[in-house]
């Protein structure tokens, strides 16, 4: 298997639009297929082997030699790759990552401004089992009326912040300046965001087309009710309400 000429990573926490971006970039045929390769078949870093890595390169690389993947930050993968390539401890985590994914000079960071809405979306996906809905598909029927859980949503707000803190620490440690994509902006400027990613990757835009969004939004009236309920309950005893 020939190594990719260019690798890039989409780093994300949950519910930031990473799957939508994955499908959009793959649709161009020139930006790899940045799926969650580390989580599809190889969820155990300790059991990961070099042949698995080469399979990822094959699945995630387009004919022009561009490879992409998306993942949330997990130190276990850094440790596994450090061991695989016999890299000493003084080698930075970014350098370890580039050993596994050749020429990985480009990093994309996906975030979402409103962490309450992020957490509500995350909790809704957990309790409904519906993480994505392909465009035009009929919504699944859910019994969500009694699934609101303040403590669970509060935990997910904190969890999303800690995941982003881990990513930001990773970037700062190695002097990485990623392309930051904000969910709220992405859904307002879908095609423009995808073309901006291609430009960031140094991929010529001539004759490139971007497919229409492959996914429908899952936000519904129930989710909005949960957002407002959480907002009110979080500030019930506060003299200075911020939202």
Domain ranges of the chain: 6-234
Query: What is d(CA 22, CA 9) in angstroms, rounded to the nearest whole number?
Result: 11
Lowest mean pLDDT among 50-59, 118-127, 189-198, 226-235: 50-59
Q: Which fold is adopted by the domain 6-234?
A: Rossmann fold (3.40.50)
Q: Work out the pLDDT band at 237, boundaries 50, 70, 90.
A: confident
* Model confidence pLDDT, tens digit, residues 112-127: 999 999 999 999 999 9
pLDDT band, very low/low/confident/very high, at 137 (cuts 50, 70, 90): confident
Distance CA 44, CA 38 (A): 9
Please give the residue that has the higher pLDDT: either 16 or 141: 16
CB burial of 10-46 (b: ≥16 within 10 Å; e: otherwise) equals: bbbbbbbbbbbbbbbbbbbebbbbbbbbbeeebeebe
Residue 41 — very low, low, confident or very high, per pLDDT cuts 50/70/90? low
* Average pLDDT of the segment spanning 12-37: 96
Closest CA to 219 of 15, 13, 70, 18: 15
pTM passes above 0.85 = yes
Q: At what angle do helices 115-128 and 221-234 cross, to 10 degrees?
A: 130
Instruction: Please state, rounded to an integer, the average pLDDT across all residues of the chain.
Output: 93
pLDDT value for 46: 82
Q: Are 119 and 156 in contact (CB under 8 A)?
A: yes
Q: Stretch 68-91: mean pLDDT, rounded?
A: 94
* Confidence at residue 143, expressed as pLDDT on a 0 to 100 scale: 81
Per-residue model confidence (pLDDT) at position 142: 76
- The mean pLDDT of 76-86, rounded to a whole number, is 94
For 224, what's the count of Cα atoms within 13 Å in the CB-facing half-sphere? 4
Percent of the chain with pLDDT over 70: 99
pLDDT for the residue 224:
95
- pLDDT band at residue 1 under the 50/70/90 scheme: low
* C-beta of residue 18 within 8 angstroms of C-beta of residue 10: yes
Instruction: Tell me: pLDDT of 232 over 90.
Output: yes
Q: Where residue 111 falls among pLDDT bands split at 50, 70, 90? A: very high
């Amino acid at each position: 298997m020939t190594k990719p000429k260019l690798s890039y990573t989409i780093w994300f926490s949950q519910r930031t639009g990473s799957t939508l971006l994955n499908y959009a970039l793959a649709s161009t045929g020139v930006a790899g297929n940045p799926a969650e390769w580390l989580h599809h078949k190889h969820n155990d870093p300790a059991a990961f082997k070099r042949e698995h890595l080469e399979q990822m390169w094959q699945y995630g690389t387009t004919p022009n030699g561009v490879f992409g993947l998306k993942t949330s930050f997990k130190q276990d993968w850094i440790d596994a790759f450090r061991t695989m390539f016999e890299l000493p401890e003084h080698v930075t985590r970014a350098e370890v990552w580039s050993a596994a994914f050749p020429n990985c000079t480009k990093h994309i960071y996906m975030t979402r401004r409103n962490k309450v809405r992020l957490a509500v979306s995350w909790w809704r996906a957990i309790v409904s089992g519906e993480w994505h809905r392909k465009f035009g598909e009929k919504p699944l029927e859910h019994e969500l009326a009694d699934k609101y859980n303040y403590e669970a949503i509060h935990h997910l707000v904190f969890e999303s912040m800690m995941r982003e803190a881990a990513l930001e620490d990773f970037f700062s440690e190695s002097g990485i300046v990623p392309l930051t994509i904000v969910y709220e902006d992405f859904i307002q400027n879908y095609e423009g965001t995808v073309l901006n990613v291609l430009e960031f990757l140094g991929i010529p835009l001539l004759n490139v087309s971007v497919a229409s969004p492959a996914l429908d939004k899952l936000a519904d009236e129930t989710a909005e009710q949960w957002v407002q309920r959480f907002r009110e309950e979080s500030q019930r005893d506060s003299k200075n309400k911020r939202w």
